[in-house]
Amino acid sequence: MTRRPAGLSADLARRVRASGLDPDALVTVLDAALAEDLAGGEDVTSVATVPAQAPATGVLASRAAGVVAGLDVVEAVLERAAGHPVSCHRDVADGDTVVAGQRLAIVSGRARDLLLAERTALNLLGHLSGVATLTRAWVDAVAGTSAAVRDTRKTTPLLRALEKFAVRCGGGTNHRMSLSDAALIKDNHVLAAGGVVAAFQRVRAAYPDLPVEVEVDSVQDAVAAVEAGADLVLLDNFSLEQLAEAVARVAGRARLEASGGLTLENAAAVAATGVDYLAVGALTHSAPVLDIGLDFAEPGRPGGARWD
């Protein structure tokens, strides 16, 4: 297996960092994914059929309409597989809307390296683009209102940063990244503390500088949480009438987030009640994969694969 450098190349690391991702964390995930694919051995099919130094050019294209997210990730997978920077010419950028059949990028390098990276790259690109595509559908559904579409912690283990990046590509907004950067008081916390206000007061006393969101299931509890000083209130499984009442009674003193029972069909109506956010776990836990393929140019054609 190719000996890989410690991290990404400087230019790619800079671009990854600019997109809000940690290059070192990304390398850890990608190396683990490539190692999983090899399972301690080698790509037996490619070793048997492709000369070691044969070059190839691959065309990355979307087979369905959607929103692209993860092109830096693809380049990073290719770089980790090759052990050095690779040629990647992009026709689109993350966050762009594409149509079926549209070319996304052209990649070049050793054929074996491209083949090693292919499935990991496509798995991640298709998944992240699927998240971005679904997010854009929700964002479009609430267009014309002041509400933002926000993700949750219902993410794939170890892929949270990437999935939340994809949400941003789709025009959505991120909720907290972890249990430590903001507090979210849910029903079990309320039960343990003995009430909404008591739970809020304990969190505020322990972590005075962190934002605190409180989940409630009644308008009365929403008002109580705001009067106790909550920055944000999560309105769980409220009807449209309850949402509108909560907005009226809170009267701008805190931000309000609707959660539970949300669909693309009712998103506009929920946003029209005046809430600030729609919390949509489906963005990350139920997004269909966007079908994207990587095909080598045919041998003998300009830029095509050559097996001699």
Q: Which of 100, 159, 196, 195 is nearest to 284 (CA)?
A: 159
Of 94, 163, 215, 276, the catalytic one is: 215
Of 4, 15, 119, 160, the catalytic one is: 119
Of 75, 113, 118, 236, the catalytic one is: 236
Dihedral over alpha carbons 284, 19, 177, 33 (to 10 degrees): 60
Mark out the alpha helices in 111-157 (DSSP H runs): 111-141
Catalytic status, residue 215: yes
Q: Which two tokens stand for residue 216?
A: 């409630």
Of 103, 154, 176, 253, the catalytic one is: 154
Of 15, 160, 186, 253, the catalytic one is: 186
Environment class of 150 (CB within 10 Å of its CB; exposed 0-12, middle 13-18, buried 19+): buried
The C-alpha atoms of residue 307 and residue 297 are separated, in whole angstroms, by 12
Catalytic status, residue 164: no
Q: Describe the strand order of the beta sheet including 103-110 as a list of residue ranges.
A: 87-90, 103-110, 55-62, 292-296
The C-alpha atoms of residue 94 and residue 157 are separated, in whole angstroms, by 23
Q: Which two tokens stand for residue 6?
A: 């410690």
Residues designated as active site: 119, 154, 186, 215, 236
